[in-house]
């Protein structure tokens, strides 16, 4: 067990959370800047955290807080549109500008919008077959059928187009696409926020079941503290591109945050309270 004073990532580990030597994701001093000069925007500021193998880790904050940018930086999806600095490591692989083939097999992402993340002119069969072919897997037809069954869809969905299925079914297809190549880590970008409330719980419970069955590691981005409390063991709260607090879900459930911003997020998540809202503090953007 590493000593806290010598651990590069210990500043992201909350008090009371045991430090582990099984970190599978390590992010240290991550900075992301879009644009140059006077028109530049510092979207992520000195973000550090570590995620244990098999853990669900949440990044929570309001829109524009930088949480999705962190996820895209890990996935290597920012390309040349942003200047990224800091250190990132996944399964002992130091991440460079271009992600390796093993990384892309090991790490998959489920995007927020099931309407925009699936090719509208491709059938479900084509959508699921493509990553299997890219990674040169065998028995692709069997894998497609199995992936659909694992997310609660039968083989009749194979030859439907995205516009022929519901939003919840589309997101299930997105999850199946991520899992068909058998990754270890899944990055979840607001996976239920674009869905009707009636199906959000179904998708969250599906993700929890798949995590157990496949022993997955999740990094979940959400603005919804209730979703993070349901899915995760540990979370970091982001504001204006920086992590303001990291805590266990037990600390969150006991209403024991230490930072004013986190307390306001928690109060807002409990429902409308005019007196509480009138007492909210303004937090300036940087």
* CATH number of the CATH domain containing 217: 3.40.50.300
Range of 214's domain? 4-278
Domain count for the chain = 1
In a domain, 44, yes or no: yes
Segment 67-79 mean pLDDT: 95
Would you say 167 and 104 are in contact if contact means Cβ atoms under 8 Å apart?
no
* Beta carbons within 10 angstroms of residue 64's beta carbon: 14
Give me the pLDDT at residue 115, please.
Answer: 80
What gap in Å lies between CA 99 and CA 190, rounded to an integer?
23
Name the least confident of 49-53, 84-88, 103-107, 265-269: 265-269
Does 60 map to a domain? yes
Confidence of residue 243 (pLDDT cuts 50, 70, 90): very high
Look at residue 222 and tell me if it is in a domain: yes
Of the candidates 31, 97, 71, the residue with the CA atom closest to the CA atom of residue 186: 71
pLDDT tens-digit series, residues 38-59: 889 999 999 999 999 999 999 9
Tokens of 261: 């911003």
Q: How many CB atoms lie within 10 A of CB 118?
A: 20
The residue among 254 and 34 whose pLDDT is bigger is: 34
Yes or no: say if 106 and 100 are a contact pair by the CB < 8 Å rule: no
In a domain, 285, yes or no: no
What is the band of 272 on the pLDDT scale with cuts at 50, 70, 90? very low
Say what the pTM is: 0.85
Res 12: pLDDT: 44
Confidence of residue 9 (pLDDT cuts 50, 70, 90): very low
The tokens describing 130, both together, are: 């493509």
Least confident of 174-188, 201-215, 258-272: 258-272
Q: Where are the beta strands (DSSP E) in the chain?
A: 23-34, 41-52, 56-60, 82-90, 93-94, 107-110, 185-189, 217-222, 234-239, 242-248
Residue 286 lies in a domain: no
């Amino acid at each position: 067990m590493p000593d806290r004073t010598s651990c590069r990532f210990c500043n992201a580990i909350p008090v009371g959370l045991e430090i582990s030597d099984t970190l599978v994701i390590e992010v240290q001093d991550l900075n992301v800047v879009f644009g140059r000069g006077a028109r530049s925007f510092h979207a992520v500021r000195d973000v550090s955290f570590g995620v244990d193998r098999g853990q669900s880790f949440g990044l929570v904050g309001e829109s524009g807080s930088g949480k999705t940018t962190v996820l895209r930086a890990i996935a290597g999806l920012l390309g040349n549109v942003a200047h990224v600095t800091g250190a990132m490591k996944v399964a002992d692989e130091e991440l460079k500008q271009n992600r390796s083939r093993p990384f892309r097999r090991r790490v998959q992402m489920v995007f927020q919008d099931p309407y925009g993340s699936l090719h509208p002119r491709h059938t479900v069969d084509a959508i699921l077959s493509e990553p299997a072919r890219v990674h040169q897997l065998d028995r692709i037809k069997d894998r497609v059928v199995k992936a659909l069954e694992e997310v609660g869809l039968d083989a009749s969905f194979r030859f439907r187009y995205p516009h022929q299925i519901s939003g919840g079914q589309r997101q299930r297809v997105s999850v199946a696409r991520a899992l068909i190549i058998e990754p270890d880590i899944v990055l979840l970008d607001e996976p239920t926020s674009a869905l009707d409330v009636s199906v959000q719980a179904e998708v969250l419970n599906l993700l929890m079941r798949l995590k157990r069955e496949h022993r997955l590691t999740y990094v979940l981005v959400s603005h919804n503290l209730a979703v993070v409390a349901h899915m995760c063991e540990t979370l970091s709260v982001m504001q204006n591109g920086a992590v303001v607090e990291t805590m266990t879900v037990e600390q969150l459930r006991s209403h024991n945050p230490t930072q004013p911003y986190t307390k306001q997020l928690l109060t807002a998540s409990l429902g409308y309270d005019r007196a509480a809202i009138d007492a909210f503090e303004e937090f300036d953007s940087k």
